């Protein structure tokens, strides 16, 4: 009889939600068969059984469990009838170093995870009980995702706010919308509350952490994109589809090989640089921002990069992106050019050294040496860097390199 624990599906995963069971409680399941769908902080994915047997679901769909917590049991009828005593070893607690790698606080509630409890402080637990709050549904703001008192109080408050006020003063005349506040709204009108999904919560938390802990600075450069756009047009005539972004990825990869520090990470007082250049490409999905990784971008041809980016974007759209595809990045590129954005400064994706933010390639009047003006399509690139790793000169040098590669694209292709 096998105890099935919430699996660790990614480096940073600390808990997962059972979205739905694909095999019913008490039904047969075969080795290799997908029997449950799990939502992690990065993706939603099915999980396969590793043995044959009858499935005993230990938690209902919608339950959030810490990694390693008991989720199901697969055994034969006799064993299950005799109780759900786990005979296999519990899933090992996530390694601290990997947790740190994702920039999340190390040392989560691993002991609790093994016993299947939501990590919550004693007072949080008691209040949840008293206020009728389901701990499993509360996002924890404490260390390691622990649910603390304030989390429970907020959850209780938001639950009660949804109900219409019962003590609205009765007015003699119906109040005019402009003068009297509605009993259930106020000046802004009735609020619609949308809870953040697990993924959105993760993004929110990581962005806040990044902002709070990383001393960042921005350096911008304007790139003359005429040559790059001419290259793209030339390829398109041969039915080879590449985007400006693909070229940006390729050029950045080459530049990173020449400026390895920009490809690095800050860790506990030292800088790590890596042999591989894995560029994360920010993609807007339905509900959040995800950053699939183009691995070894420096070793792929432009067309391979283009194909890979298309594939990854498609996987994000249809929800089939996997955690490994969302991890391992050493550098991130975010491009808002398709929205006509001129420039923007994003937030460094920890623990990476920098993020490259690209605006649209817009026509601009550019002075020529002889005093006349020409119209060139110019794209502003902004590099937001972690000042613990990169100094102004480093960022500037990288951008200069990148600009040179983009303005003479054959150099990037070589």
Q: Are 352 and 331 in contact (CB under 8 A)?
A: yes
Cis before 12 (ω within 30): no
Smallest separation (angstroms) from another protein to the CB of 152: 10
Asked whether 257 and 411 are in contact (CB, 8 A), the reply is no
Give alpha helix (H) positions in 44-196: 77-81, 96-101, 110-114, 122-131, 149-161
3-state DSSP assignment of residue 130: helix
Nearer of residues 121 and 218 to another protein, judged by Cβ: 121
What minimum distance in Å lies between the beta carbon of 209 and another protein?
Answer: 13
Crossing angle for the helix pair 244-258 and 302-318, to the nearest 10 degrees? 120
Q: How far is the CB of 149 from another protein (least distance, A)?
A: 5
In the bound complex, what is the minimum distance in angstroms from residue 352's beta carbon to another protein?
24
Alpha helices in 182-331, H assignment, sequence order: 198-213, 226-237, 244-258, 302-318
- The residues of the shown chain that bind another protein, judged by CB under 8 A, are 121-126, 142-143, 148-149
Q: Which is nearer to another protein, 141 or 220 (CB)?
A: 141
233-242, long-range: CB < 8 A, 24+ apart: 240/303, 241/306, 242/302, 242/303, 242/305, 242/306
Residue 324: strand, helix, or coil? helix
Query: CA-CA distances (angstroms) from residue 387 to 104, 125, 218, 267, 393?
Result: 20, 41, 10, 13, 11
Give the CA distances from residue 163 to residues 134, 152, 183, in Å, rounded to whole numbers and listed in that order: 18, 18, 11
Question: What is the three-class DSSP state of 75?
Answer: strand
Q: Measured from the CB atom, is 149 or 387 closer to another protein?
A: 149
Q: How far is the CB of 69 from another protein (least distance, A)?
A: 21
For another protein, give the closer residue by CB, 48 or 129: 129
Identify which of residues 154 and 387 has a Cβ nearer to another protein in the complex.
154
Cα(358)–Cα(384) distance, rounded to whole angstroms? 11
Q: Which is nearer to another protein, 95 or 123 (CB)?
A: 123
Residue 146, H or E segment:
none
Helix, strand or coil, per DSSP, at residue 365 = strand
Q: How far is the CB of 411 from another protein (least distance, A)?
A: 49
125 versus 267: smaller Cβ distance to another protein: 125
Q: Which residues are catalytic?
A: 387
Q: Which tokens go with 82?
A: 């005799």
Q: Shortest Cβ distance from residue 212 to another protein (Å)?
A: 13
């Amino acid at each position: 009889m096998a105890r099935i624990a919430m699996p660790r599906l990614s480096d940073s995963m600390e808990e997962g939600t059972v979205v739905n069971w694909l095999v019913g409680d008490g039904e047969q399941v075969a080795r290799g068969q997908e029997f449950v769908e799990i939502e992690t902080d990065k993706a939603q994915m099915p999980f396969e059984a590793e043995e044959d047997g009858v499935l005993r679901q230990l938690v209902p769909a919608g339950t959030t469990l810490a990694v390693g917590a008991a989720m199901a049991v697969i055994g034969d009828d006799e064993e299950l009838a005799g109780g759900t005593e786990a005979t296999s070893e519990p899933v090992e607690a996530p390694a601290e170093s990997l947790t740190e790698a994702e920039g999340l606080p190390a040392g989560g509630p691993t002991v609790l995870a093994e016993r299947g409890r939501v990590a919550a402080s004693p007072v949080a637990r008691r209040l949840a009980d008293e206020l009728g709050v389901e701990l499993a549904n509360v996002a924890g703001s404490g260390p390691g995702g622990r649910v603390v008192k304030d989390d429970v109080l907020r959850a209780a408050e938001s639950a009660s706010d949804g109900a219409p006020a019962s003590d609205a003063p009765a007015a003699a005349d119906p109040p005019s919308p402009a003068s009297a506040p509605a009993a259930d709204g106020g000046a802004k009108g009735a609020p619609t509350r949308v809870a953040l999904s697990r993924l959105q919560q993760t993004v929110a938390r990581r962005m806040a952490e990044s902002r709070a802990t990383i001393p960042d600075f921005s350096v911008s450069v304007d790139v003359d994109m005429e040559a790059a756009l001419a290259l793209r047009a030339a390829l398109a005539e041969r039915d080879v589809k590449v985007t400006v972004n693909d070229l940006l990825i390729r050029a950045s990869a080459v530049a990173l090989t020449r400026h390895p520090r920009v490809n690095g990470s800050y860790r506990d007082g030292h800088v790590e640089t890596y042999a591989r250049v894995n560029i994360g490409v920010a993609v807007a999905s339905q509900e959040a921002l995800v950053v699939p990784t183009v691995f070894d971008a420096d070793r792929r041809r432009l067309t391979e990069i283009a194909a890979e980016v298309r594939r990854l974007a498609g996987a994000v759209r249809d929800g089939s992106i996997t955690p490994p595809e969302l991890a391992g990045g050493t550098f991130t590129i975010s491009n808002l050019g398709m929205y006509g954005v001129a420039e923007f400064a994003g937030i460094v994706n920890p623990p990476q050294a920098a993020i490259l933010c690209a605006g649209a390639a817009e026509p601009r009047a550019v002075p020529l040496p002889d005093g006349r003006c020409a119209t060139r399509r110019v794209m502003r690139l902004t590099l937001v860097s972690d000042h613990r790793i990169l100094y102004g000169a480093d960022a500037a040098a990288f951008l200069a390199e990148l600009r040179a590669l983009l303005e003479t694209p054959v150099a990037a292709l070589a």
